[in-house]
Chains A and B, each alone.
Chain A
Amino acid sequence: MKILVCITHVPDTTSKIQFTANNTKFDTAGVQFIIGPYDDYALARAVELRDQTGGTLTAINVGEVETEPTLRKSLAIGADDAIRVNSFPKDSFFVAKQIAHYAKEGGYDLILMGRESIDFNGGMVHGMVGELLGMPSFSPVMKLEVEGTTVKMAREIEGGKEMLEAKLPLIAGCQEPIAEWKIPNMRGIMSARTKPLKVVEPVTDETQAAASSYQLPPAKGSVKLIDKDNVAELVKLLKNEAKVL
């Protein structure tokens, strides 16, 4: 089986979000970048499936040169090779077009990625790639088993889940508990240095809904503390002041 896993390069979940250049650029000063947590689940499951069924696992990222350490980390975790599409990821449509092109070229049976990136939270790339390639797409997938060409999945819905069956090839946007995050070991880190990482150029420049400027939410006022022996006061405040009851 040939597996493709799509990796986003995103700020660590504890990062302070700030913008520069008159609120038109994300401020990367002091920010540590990681593999998107949902992509990390997809990658972990992809490694397990590759080890179970044999075959290959390729990681792909649409990003500029600074994303390479993130892509190398996915090689350290277990991908066999990597592709970097050399461009800033302008919008979901742009990213989906690049991934669809290189996915078609590689003839993958299974394409996994996170349910959404944690920077733009679009959750749209898997469906777009699916439609572009004429493959079924599923998200958010919390369980995925492959038996021959049949794929059994659990997809989370509001207040529960549905159990699904579909045929390869397909695309899934993943979330926990599909697999446990994998931490690269020393051997993985060493071998990642020499695994192939191919840099390719974008196949189109087209966008449909790119961001032009950013804003931070208004600062939160300070908390009003209520004595633990006076809970009735809290009820009053919720009713009369906050008006949320």
Chain B
Amino acid sequence: MSILVYIEHAEGKVKKTSLEAVSFANKLAAQTGEGDVIAVALGTVDSAELASVGKAGAAKVLHADDSRLTDGVIQAHASAVAQAFTAIGTKTLVLAKSSLGDAVAARLAIKLNAGLVSNVVELPNTSNGYVVKRSIYTGKAFAETTITTDNKILAVKKNAVDLKTDGGDAIVEKLSVNLSDSDFASKIITTERATGEILLPEADIVVSGGRGLKGPENWGMIEDLAKTLGAATGCSKPVSDIGWRPHHEHVGQTGVKVAPTLYVAVGISGAIQHLAGVNSSKCIVVINKDPEAPFFKAADYGIVGDAFEVIPKLTEALKAEL
């Protein structure tokens, strides 16, 4: 039996988080003896791009090449993935936690009568039952959950496993799905997406700015630093509330939860609600002029100093080194 992975793509590229989900499924299949990994991709996307999903460990990619599915219409995606699940006769679906993935997974849990665990942080323990470790309390704790149904869905958090890159090409096969008008009853009118930028929820390095930066006109140095590091930019909640930065950059309890290898916080005090969004980072660097800023307690490295002096110097030093 195979494991099915629902993969997402944007602007012609399969998302890195989806490749991580494929890598996760590949390891899971080896652990449980479930056989190979089959991915399902929906909407218009290049076959060569889909074949490259094999690098992450998929043997095959089922492609429902229906242009109506290129946008993430939640109901239609859930119907199509359910059909793929039944068609290959699997019991396990893996996907990356994301805006669309979460919405689709929840509907699939009911459609497939499948126990669903979200925010999965490592491979399940299948030695006695099916115990899945998930992150809870916004990264402040973990829970072990036991799935009791035959069918299972795992929505995997970023960095749950290392990305596999050494597989061969996957076979790409057409998948025909039956979709009704009601699957498309809701319409996506327009999509606005920051193009050419590294997306915050998927970034390996994040540089965030807080109210300490005084105004939107000072974000140039944050962007320079981010560009030098190949990082996405983020911000604290008040910064997006006042409109200095767009809402999708807001990191924290009520915003985006990030899990990069490196998180650089500039002029952010480190309120507990901000920390809740960054506590899954591997390494945290804090730059703040106040030595008492609570963020230093959560940091691996810190510089006590004025961001307006430190950041340009840091960018220069990085440019020299990288």
A residues near B (Cβ < 8 Å) are 11, 13-14, 17, 19, 37-38, 91-93, 96, 118-128, 130-132, 136-140, 142, 155-167, 170, 173, 175-177, 207-217, 220-221, 223-228, 231-232, 234-239, 242, 244-245
A231 to chain B, nearest CB (A): 5
Contact B305 A128 (CB under 8 A): no
Query: What are 25 A-B pairs at a CB distance below 8 A?
Result: A17-B140, A37-B254, A92-B109, A96-B110, A118-B138, A122-B118, A127-B110, A128-B106, A130-B107, A136-B74, A137-B74, A158-B15, A160-B193, A164-B186, A164-B189, A165-B189, A216-B142, A217-B142, A227-B303, A228-B303, A231-B303, A235-B321, A242-B301, A244-B261, A244-B283
Q: How far is the CA of A124 from the CA of B253 in the complex (A)?
A: 17
Contact B141 A228 (CB under 8 A): no
Contact A238 B283 (CB under 8 A): yes
CB of B80 closer than 8 Å to a CB of A: no
B9 to chain A, nearest CB (A): 12
Contact A225 B303 (CB under 8 A): yes
Contact B72 A208 (CB under 8 A): no
Q: How far is the CA of A165 from the CA of B261 in the complex (A)?
A: 38
Residue of B nearest to A96 (CB): B110
Q: How far is the CA of A146 from the CA of B285 in the complex (A)?
A: 44
Contact A142 B247 (CB under 8 A): yes
Known: A17-B137, A162-B191, A232-B317. A120 touches B143 (CB 8 A): yes
Contact B188 A234 (CB under 8 A): no
CB under 8 Å from chain A, chain B span 80-138:
98-100, 102-107, 109-111, 114-119, 131-132, 135-138
CB under 8 Å from chain A, chain B span 31-78:
71-72, 74-75, 78
Contact A159 B146 (CB under 8 A): no
8 Å CB contact of A225 from B116, B304, B306? B304
Neighbouring B residues of A238 by C-beta, 8 Å: 262, 283, 285, 301
B residues near A (Cβ < 8 Å) are 10, 15, 71-72, 74-75, 78, 98-100, 102-107, 109-111, 114-119, 131-132, 135-149, 185-194, 197, 199-202, 205, 229, 241, 247-248, 253-254, 261-262, 272-273, 276, 279, 282-283, 285-286, 296-306, 309-310, 313-314, 317-318, 320-322
Interface pairs A-B: 10 shortest CB-CB? A127-B106, A228-B305, A166-B186, A208-B115, A160-B193, A131-B110, A211-B143, A159-B199, A124-B106, A209-B115
Contact B115 A242 (CB under 8 A): no
Neighbouring B residues of A124 by C-beta, 8 Å: 102, 105-106, 109, 116, 118
A149 to chain B, nearest CB (A): 12
A-B contacts besides A13-B276, A231-B313, 11 pairs, CB < 8 Å: A37-B253, A121-B136, A137-B74, A142-B247, A160-B191, A160-B193, A162-B71, A162-B190, A212-B145, A216-B142, A220-B298
Neighbouring A residues of B309 by C-beta, 8 Å: 228
Q: How far is the CA of A210 from the CA of B229 in the complex (A)?
A: 41
Q: How far is the CA of A81 from the CA of B320 in the complex (A)?
A: 64
B127 to chain A, nearest CB (A): 15
Contact A213 B144 (CB under 8 A): yes
Q: How far is the CA of A96 from the CA of B291 in the complex (A)?
A: 46
A175 to chain B, nearest CB (A): 7
The count of A-to-B residue pairs whose CB atoms sit within 8 angstroms is 265
B40 to chain A, nearest CB (A): 18
Residue of A nearest to B117 (CB): A209
Neighbouring A residues of B282 by C-beta, 8 Å: 242, 244
8 Å CB contact of B141 from A123, A160, A214, A220? A214
Contact B185 A136 (CB under 8 A): yes
Residue of B nearest to A153 (CB): B186
Contact B103 A127 (CB under 8 A): yes
Q: How far is the CA of A158 from the CA of B249 in the complex (A)?
A: 9
Contact A166 B185 (CB under 8 A): yes
Contact B304 A228 (CB under 8 A): yes
Contact B302 A19 (CB under 8 A): no
8 Å CB contact of B103 from A121, A122, A139, A213? A139
B215 to chain A, nearest CB (A): 20
Contact B254 A245 (CB under 8 A): no
Contact B317 A231 (CB under 8 A): yes
Neighbouring A residues of B119 by C-beta, 8 Å: 121-122
Known: A159-B193, A163-B190, A244-B282. A231 touches B142 (CB 8 A): no
Neighbouring A residues of B193 by C-beta, 8 Å: 157-160
Contact B149 A140 (CB under 8 A): no
Neighbouring B residues of A215 by C-beta, 8 Å: 141-144
B236 to chain A, nearest CB (A): 13
Contact B185 A162 (CB under 8 A): no
Neighbouring B residues of A242 by C-beta, 8 Å: 262, 282-283, 300-301
Contact B186 A128 (CB under 8 A): no
Contact B302 A207 (CB under 8 A): no
Contact B116 A209 (CB under 8 A): yes
Neighbouring A residues of B102 by C-beta, 8 Å: 123-124, 127, 139
B260 to chain A, nearest CB (A): 9
Contact B247 A176 (CB under 8 A): yes
